[in-house]
Structure 1
Amino acid sequence: MRTSRAFIALLAVVLALTACTDVSSPEATQARGGSPAQAASEPAVPQVARPWQKGMPELGVNVLWEDSKDDDDEVTRAKARRLLDYLISLNVNAVAVNFPFVINGRYGTSVGAHKAHTPSPERMAILLEEAQRSRMRVAIRPLLDETSVAPAWRGKISPSSRDKWFTSYTKFLTPYAEMAREHRVAEFVVGVELNSLQGDPRWKKVVTALRSSFDGELSYSVNFDVYEDGLRTPPVDRVGVDAYFKVQADDDASVAKLTAAWERWLDRHADDRAAGLVLHEVGIAAQNGGYRHPASWGKSSVPLNLTVQRNWYQAVCNSAESRKLAGVYFWYMRMHHDPGSEDPKQADRLTFVDRPAESVLRDCYERLGA
C-alpha cells in the first residue's frame, strides 16, 4: 500500500504540473527541435545540471523496462517522469533503456516482442520525450529475455539458421531504430552479450540496415569474458563492456582491495584504451559471496549483504576516476521502481534503489561530473 499511495501522489503532481503555467525555456525547446510556441505549452521539469556532451564522461544507469499492459499512456508518462527525476537527483546524465525481446528457443530463428513485457516503439517514445525535456543522454539496448531460451544463457544461443535469425532480428529492431532517430537518441546498441554470434560476418548487414534507420552512434555490448579474449565484435562505432569479472575476495574485503582488483583488470584488458572505454553494465548482487559472482541474481537463501554492494560501487567509482573511463552505467533499476518507497531488503538483489549503494552512486557522479 505504501508504494501505491506514493505513486498515486506522484501521478497527481504530474497532472497538476500539466495544468500549470510554468514553462521550460524557449531556447531549450528549440535545441530539441521544437518551437518557442511549443516551449510555452510545456510545464517545467527537472533537468540535468550539466548535459552530456562529447568529451564528458557518461554517468549512467541501466533501466530495465518490462512493460505492464495495465499501464495506460498517462501512467507510463508519470512513471517515466518519476524515474527521470530520481536519476537527476543522483547526478546521472545518461540512461540506458533496456527492453526485452524473445526468440523461439535456444535454436530458434524467430525474433520478436514478448507479448506482455516488450514495450512498443510508441510506448518507448513516451519515455524518450520526457528524457529530451530533461536533457538526458539516452541509449537503447535490446536485451534477450533468457526465459525464452532457458536453461541456456543468451550468450549460448545457436540458431538453426543464422541467415533467418539475423534477418528476423534486423526486422524486429528497425522500428525501434526509426523511433530512436525521431527522438534524437544518442546511442543504439545493436546487441548485448551475444557471445555465440558475436564474430559472425552477418552483423555487417544488420549494422548497414540500422544505419539507414538511425543516425546516431551504433554500439555493441560485449561480455567481459570475450572482451578479455579479444573476440571479434560487430562493425559498430564503439564497443562497451558488461563488466562482471570475478574477484577472489571475502565479503569483508576493503574498498582499497576491491579498487586494486578493478584497476588491475582494467590495466590488463583495456590498457591504453581505458580512456575511451564505457562500462555498459556494471553492478553486483547485494549478498554474501557477491565478489566471487558479481552477476549472480542470487537466491533468497543467500544472506543479504548491503555492504558488499556498497563497497563494490565505491571501487568501481574509484577506478573509473583513476583510469579516466569514458562512461559507467550501473545495473540497475526497473521502470516500475518507486524510489523512496522500496524495501532495502527486497528480493531483487541487483538493484541499488533505496540501498546504501545509492548514496555511493550519487556522490560518485557528483565528483566525476564536476
Structure 2
Amino acid sequence: MRFIFKMCLFFLVSSCAIKSTKSEKINGVSFVASRDTINDTHIKPLLNIHANYAAIMPFGFIRELMHPNIRFNTERQWFGERKEGVKQYVENLKQHQIKVMIKPQIWVSRGVFTGGIKMTSEADWLILEESYSNFILMYAELAETLDAEIFCIGTELESFIDNRPEYWKQLIVEIRKVYNGKLTYAANWNEYNRSPFWEQLDYIGIDAYFPISNEKTPTVEACRSGWLNHKPKIKTFSEKYNKPILFTEFGYRSVDYAGKEPWRSDRDMNTVNMEAQTNTMQVIFEEFWDEDWFAGGFLWKWFHNHNEAGGENDSRFTPQNKPVEALVKAQYSR
C-alpha cells in the first residue's frame, strides 16, 4: 500500500512538473545595442514588465548585397554591437535572473533588407561563407562561455540560405561543436516554410510580421480574423517537425495601418496611432501565448534607456512609455 501511495505521489509531482515546464513561456524583449554599458537602472524596467528573456544582438556589417566580406567586432562599432558589449550585457542581465538569446545579425549599408544578400560568383560565395562562419562561430563560442540559453544562427537571410543550403546544414554541425544550448534561426514570416534545416534546430524561429489587417485602426476582431490566414499553417508546421514555434521577433508600430505590413519601418509612416498598436498586440498574445506548441517570443524592440524611449509622440515599434506597455506587463506577469 505504501509503495502504491509513493508511486501515485511520484506521478502527481511529475505531472505538475511537466505542466509547469510546458506552460512556461519565453516572455522576451529584443534588447537594442547601444553606445553604453548597462547597469541595474537599465534592467529594472525589464523586471517591471516581468520579462524573463532578452535577445542580445551583436552586429556584422556588409557594404552591399553582393559584397562577401562581413566586418564585425571592430572599435568603430557601438559597445553593445561587439563582443565586449555582449559579454557585459549578458552578465548583468543574468545577475537579475533574466535569461538570454544571443542573436548575431547582419546590417547592410543604408538598411537594405538582408534577405537579398546574394553573390554573383562561386568565389564570392566561398568568401561570404568563410566570413559568416567566423562571425557566427565567434559568438557561438561566447554564448557557451556566458551560458546563454539560446543561440540564433542567423536572421532573415533567405537568399543566402536558398542558394547555399548545404553550407548552412554544415554550419549548424560546427556550431554544435562549440555551443551546447538551444538553437534557432530567425526566419522572416514568409520564409520559414522553406528553410531547409529545422530538424537540426531546437525551435522554429519566426520573425512574426504577418499581415493581418488593412484597417487604419485595426480592431481586435479584424486582427483575430487576419490571423486565421496564418495561425493554422504555423501550427501544422510545428507538428510537421515536432518542434515548438518561437517568435524570434514580434511587435507592431504605434502607427496607422499597423497590421497591414507590420515589417515596414519607413520613416514616412509617422501618423501616431496607439490604439492600432495595442489592438494588434492584444490579439497576438491572445492567439498564441496559451498554445502548447508555442514557446513564446521576443518583443521588437526595447531600448536600454527606458525614460527616453518611446512615448506618446513615438510611431516606432517600441512599447516603452506607451499604452501597450501595460498590456505587455499584464501578459508577461501571467
TM-score by length of 2: 0.82
- Does structure 2 conserve the Cα–Cα contact (< 8 Å) formed by 1:263 and 1:323? no
Corresponding residue number in structure 2 for 1:329: 298
Partner amino acid, structure 2, of 1:138: V
Count of residue correspondences: 301
Deviation at 1:226, TM superposition (A): 1.5
Deviation at 1:283, TM superposition (A): 0.9
Corresponding residue number in structure 2 for 1:32: none
Match of 2:65 among 93, 101, 106: 106
Deviation at 1:209, TM superposition (A): 2.2
Q: Percent identity?
A: 20
Which string of whole-angstrom CA distances, capped at 9 and with x for unpartnered residues, describes residues 51-91 of structure 1? xx9532111111121x42xx4xxxx132xx33322111101
- Does structure 2 conserve the Cα–Cα contact (< 8 Å) formed by 1:283 and 1:295? no
Match of 1:351 among 303, 306, 318: 318
Distance in 2 between residues matched to 1:301 and 1:256, nearest whole Å = 24
- Does structure 1 conserve the Cα–Cα contact (< 8 Å) formed by 2:255 and 2:274? yes
Deviation at 1:230, TM superposition (A): 3.1
Corresponding residue number in structure 2 for 1:205: 170
Corresponding residue number in structure 1 for 2:14: none
Deviation at 1:257, TM superposition (A): 2.6
Match of 2:216 among 251, 254, 279: 251
Match of 1:364 among 307, 313, 331: 331
DSSP-derived class of the 2:45 partner: helix
Which string of whole-angstrom CA distances, capped at 9 and with x for unpartnered residues, describes residues 263-296 of structure 1? 5411133237278211111111111122111111
Q: Is it true that 1:132 corresponds to 2:94 in the alignment? A: yes
Deviation at 1:197, TM superposition (A): 1.6
Q: What is the correspondence of 1:50-61 to structure 2 with a 5 Å cutoff?
A: 55=22, 56-61=24-29
Partner amino acid, structure 2, of 1:162: W
Distance in 2 between residues matched to 1:203 and 1:171, nearest whole Å = 13
Q: Is it true that 1:220 corresponds to 2:188 in the alignment? A: no
Corresponding residue number in structure 1 for 2:83: 121
CA RMSD in angstroms comes to 2.3
Unaligned runs of 5+ in 2: 1-19
Q: Is it true that 1:178 corresponds to 2:141 in the alignment? A: yes
Distance in 1 between residues matched to 2:57 and 2:313, nearest whole Å = 21
Corresponding residue number in structure 2 for 1:12: none
1:247–1:211: structure 2 CA closer, same or farther, 3 Å change rule?
same
Q: Is it true that 1:316 corresponds to 2:281 in the alignment? A: no
Corresponding residue number in structure 1 for 2:194: 230
Q: Is it true that 1:77 corresponds to 2:44 in the alignment? A: no
Moved over 6 A (4+): none
- Does structure 2 conserve the Cα–Cα contact (< 8 Å) formed by 1:243 and 1:279? yes
Deviation at 1:203, TM superposition (A): 0.9
Deviation at 1:121, TM superposition (A): 1.6
Distance in 2 between residues matched to 1:132 and 1:151, nearest whole Å = 31
Which string of whole-angstrom CA distances, capped at 9 and with x for unpartnered residues, describes residues 235-286 of structure 1? 4332210011112331233213312322541113323727821111111111
Distance in 2 between residues matched to 1:278 and 1:285, nearest whole Å = 20
Partner amino acid, structure 1, of 2:71: G
Distance in 2 between residues matched to 1:208 and 1:301, nearest whole Å = 42
1:230–1:171: structure 2 CA closer, same or farther, 3 Å change rule?
closer
